[in-house]
Chains A and B, each alone.
Chain A
Amino acid sequence: MTDTSEKYYPIEQVEDISMRDREDAMGAYLMMFAALAAGLPLPILNLIAAVIYYYVNKGKSRFVKFHALQSLYSQIPTTLMNAGLVFWTFRIIFNEGSFRSSDVFMEGFATVSELYWGYLWVVVAANLLYVIFSLVGATKARKGRFYYFLFFGKLAYHFAYRKEESSDAPVLNEPPK
């Protein structure tokens, strides 16, 4: 069995983490509201903001890097689902004309397939879950605590805390082949 301490840096305890780092870690989760700030209904904007936030803050501390990474990874599935929903909705509106087929808007809605409604509710549920988990993550981060999302938590921990393998082998210059 391999020793974790050999592969990973030790995680910081609450008292070791400065308020500044806690606030920066919290900010990572709140990037999900970036699209709201810009006033644009583009789901991809949250992801772009999370990527920028990660690159700006990853050097501050491993604690901040972990939370920024976890926030970034966990945004990817919901962003893709949201983008899919937006794309599908626009297709319905502009190509298939479902919403135009009736004089009454709600009747137009009724012509949308059951599959679409099913997908819509799945996306709504996924977003709700994501927002709830992110708010819990943000609150924990501000308290200097770790909070591991399912799957993404381990992944973020791995990339934020693993020790880089240093190669002791000497680098040799070679003639052209």
Chain B
Amino acid sequence: MKLTIQHQEYYSRGELILRSLFGAIYIAFPHLFLLIFVSIWGAILQFIAWWIVLFTGKYPQSFFEFQVGLLQWNLRLNARLMNLSDGYPAFGINASDEYTSLEVPYPENISRGLLLLRAFFGLIYVLIPHGFILYFRTLWGLILSFLAFWAVLFTGKYPESWHTFNVETLRWSTRVSLYMGFMDDQYPPFSGKE
């Protein structure tokens, strides 16, 4: 899995102010409204894919691409809402983006044993330990985002280490999503590094 959000040399202060004041209306609302329906469809496909994987050991490729497209859409949106990227995020699961990218290799086979293990015990051995750390990491990320707002406002630059930290949080949580969504058999590392 490869997730990147480009660290820009300069960030637009105008866009920063616009996003901060009206982002909920012109970015979050229209995207989230559509994402609700697309996510319901994604959940239905995932449920059906679970049975398909159980019986065939393979994740249907078009279902897989849909789920990756959905994750890419979420990434584009999060990058803007967290001020990690400028520009307006594109709508749709097939859209591309200038600043963000997410590549997930299609697995030829998915372990059925792991599939069952994740379904029955995923909460215990994946979601609780990762969720616990990610919760505090996200809190710290929010503080950094708040500080970065002022840094961008006065200097036009997003401190690179803060940017990296927030991107790593997103990468980490995406890995957990991929593992729990049985799109990857590799247990997610307790790190957001590439």
Write the residues of chain A forming the contact surface with B, with a CB cutoff of 8 angstroms.
19-20, 23-24, 26-27, 30-31, 33-34, 36-38, 49, 52, 57, 60, 142
Note all chain B residues with C-beta closer than 8 A to A31: 44, 48
Note all chain A residues with C-beta closer than 8 A to B146: none
* SS class, residues of chain B in contact with chain A: helix
Of the A-B pairs whose beta carbons lie under 8 Å apart in the complex, a sample of 29, sorted by A's number, is A19-B61, A20-B61, A20-B62, A23-B58, A23-B61, A23-B62, A23-B63, A24-B60, A24-B62, A26-B60, A27-B52, A27-B62, A27-B63, A30-B51, A30-B52, A31-B44, A31-B48, A33-B48, A34-B47, A34-B48, A37-B44, A37-B46, A37-B47, A37-B48, A38-B40, A38-B44, A52-B41, A57-B62, A142-B56
Note all chain B residues with C-beta closer than 8 A to A19: 61
Q: How many residues of B are in contact with the other chain, CB < 8 A?
A: 16
Complex interface residues of chain B between 18 and 72 (CB less than 8 A to chain A): 40-41, 43-48, 51-52, 56, 58, 60-63
Write the residues of chain B forming the contact surface with A, with a CB cutoff of 8 angstroms.
40-41, 43-48, 51-52, 56, 58, 60-63
Note all chain B residues with C-beta closer than 8 A to A27: 45, 48, 52, 60, 62-63
Total inter-chain residue pairs, C-beta < 8 Å: 45
**Residue on A nearest B60 in the bound complex, by CB:** A23
Complex CA gap A133/B61 in Å reads 24
Note all chain B residues with C-beta closer than 8 A to A49: 44
- 3 tightest Cβ-Cβ pairs between the two chains A and B: A37-B47, A23-B60, A37-B44
Note all chain A residues with C-beta closer than 8 A to B63: 23, 27
Say how far B54's CB is from chain A's closest CB, in angstroms: 12
Note all chain B residues with C-beta closer than 8 A to A34: 44, 47-48
Complex CA gap A38/B36 in Å reads 13
Note all chain A residues with C-beta closer than 8 A to B51: 30, 33
**Residue on A nearest B65 in the bound complex, by CB:** A20
Q: A37 and B61 in contact (CB under 8 A), knowing A23-B52, A26-B52?
A: no
Say how far B110's CB is from chain A's closest CB, in angstroms: 13
